[in-house]
Structure 1
Amino acid sequence: MRTLGLITGAAAAALVAAGAITYAVAGDEGSDGAGRTPTADSADAGFARDMAVHHQQAVEMSYIVRDRTKDEEVRRLAYDIAQTQANQRGMLLGWLDLWELPKVSADPPMTWMGMGDTASGKDGALMPGMATNAEMKRLGSLSGKEAEVFYLQLMTDHHKGGVHMAQACVSACEVGVEKRLARGMVEGQESEIDLMAGMLEERGARARS
């Protein structure tokens, strides 16, 4: 069985890095806009809001699959993803609190990326890469290998959407600490995409796209 030493180490590193980031980001010295608080319609605020929602679904999916399989490899990966993304989500929401900005917006998701009304994913998914309500329900109905494969496929799609969003923040966000977090998301999730491709192959399956 494939070991998860690499991914476990990556997840642990991400948690350590996340824990080291201070909430004092409004005056972050590494920011192109040091000393300025982001506005509600900024890329910084938009990324924080949208990625918090995106992460929440990944956490939910990961806890669902942990109850649907006894495979330790998948359970360990799901735990790593859930812990890392819950930690990052807390930081994103904490920054919005610090900036005294709303956690929800009347604008469609990903408007800050210039996507707006075109951002919705397939079959009514809120954002590209996110699972639909029907897919979440199906995941909760499966067990064993079927649950493992479907989770890995869903999470691969989810990570691809997350990487796209994080890359946009790296390009457009101005708060340095948030840009660094986004870079870490890109690196960590791309690594997990590669890992999940191997796990799917071991189970006679592959990513959906």
Structure 2
Amino acid sequence: MDTAIAVNPGFPRLNQPAPAFEAETTHGTLRLEDFQGSWVILFSHPADFTPVCTTEFVAFAELAPELKKRGVELCGLSIDSTYSHIAWVRNIEQIFGVKIPFPIIADLNKDVATLYGMVMPGESKTETSRCVFVIDPKGILRAMIYYPLTTGRNTQEILRLIDALQATDKHGIATPANWKPGDKVIVPPPRTTEDAEERMRAGYETADWYFSKKTL
């Protein structure tokens, strides 16, 4: 007997339009469409005034200038209130000397969290997990990363992911494991026998017909 897997129709999927939303934030009312034309990193955190989340917000704030160079906007989210967000942002600036430059969604009713599948009942029914959603300038969801409540994110890996996605879009290539800008990239594999033969003569760094690298 075939076993069907139930899928939440509202759960986000890669390479599909990111779920649209309108929400109150620390920068006023925002809609996903307000970011059209820019890359967006939408990320959730479990709760304001918690230590791991504080380290993450400091790290994201420090990363923001590099993301801005790449045309990327940041937007945070938790199910805390706008007042809580404002107080926490002020506290981070006072205690750690770091100003949070990006908006934070106040998702008290879990509207956005539900659209994006940010609440994991097996981990917590009252807090959003550490989710990261990368949305491209056309509003397409390009990447998703989920972390448990206990593990802070590696923001340098998120920057690397942005660099990889943008290189793929610009050059039509793929990136190997642990790739970083300046490393060789993967040439898409050939789709026909003739292309495979041509590949071997193309001058790439070729281990075999399906595995070729080049320098951008």
What is the TM-score with the length of structure 2 in the denominator? 0.26
Highest CA radius of gyration, 1 or 2? 2
What is the TM-score with the length of structure 1 in the denominator? 0.27
More strand by share: 2
Higher RCO structure (Cα 8 Å, ≥6 apart): 1
